[in-house]
Amino acid sequence: MNPELKSIVEALLLAADRALSVDEIRSVFDEADRPERDELKQALAGIAADCEHRGVELREVASGYRLQIRQELAGWVNRLWEEKPPRYTRALLETLALIAYRQPATRGDIEEVRGVSVSTGIIRTLLDRDWIRISGHRETPGRPELFVTTRQFLDHFNLKSLSDLPPLSEINELPEALPEEA
């Protein structure tokens, strides 16, 4: 078996962060040196064997193969999250703040103030967290979505109503505290 093939397949599995089917793996190779399915299965078997004494194992699931952290190690891995909850980026917080103060606001409105484009990921995260919702569309070309904050947003920040947000004039005096890990 081609040892290099094993390395490539392992790299693919660890880069993808999801299960990959045999065909997906084959598709990243140029046609000229695309491995046969059997060859690939052999490489996968080799990876599985190498994992014997490692922290991960090769699993075959419905959509293909994935390298997964061993069940026995779940306890340690979970502590990693306990120790350090993820944090939001400055871009996300500014987007949320602008929606809170300027609602209803479109993506374009936010981009105008911030001078950079607002990523879809940020809007998705805010929607997923139920902090903002789409209240409608602005009747301008493209009919952009109008975002407003939700009740959950008020609850999270312990506000009774939007009028409890400090006025902008006060905010401008605030020092710019930057989220930066120590």
Point out which residues bind another protein (CB under 8 A).
11, 13-15, 17-19, 55-56, 59, 66-71, 73-74, 77-78, 81-82, 85-91, 93-94, 96-98, 100-101, 113-117, 119-120, 123-124, 129, 155-159, 165-166, 168-169, 171-179, 181-182
> Any idea which residue has 């789409």 for tokens?
134
2 lines the binding site for a second copy (CB under 8 A): no
Q: How far is the CB of 2 from another protein (least distance, A)?
A: 20
Using CB under 8 A, pick the residue from 27, 108, 112, 155 that binds a second copy.
27
Using CB under 8 A, pick the residue from 41, 70, 143, 156 that binds a second copy.
70
Q: Which is nearer to a second copy, 173 or 181 (CB)?
A: 181
Question: Three-state secondary structure along 112-153?
Answer: HHHCCCCCHHHHHHHHHCCCEEEEEECCCCCCCEEEEECHHH
Strands 132-137, 64-69: pairing kind: unpaired
Q: How far is the CB of 5 from another protein (least distance, A)?
A: 18
Sign of CA dihedral 42, 43, 47, 49: positive
Query: CB–CB of 124/147 below 8 Å?
Result: no
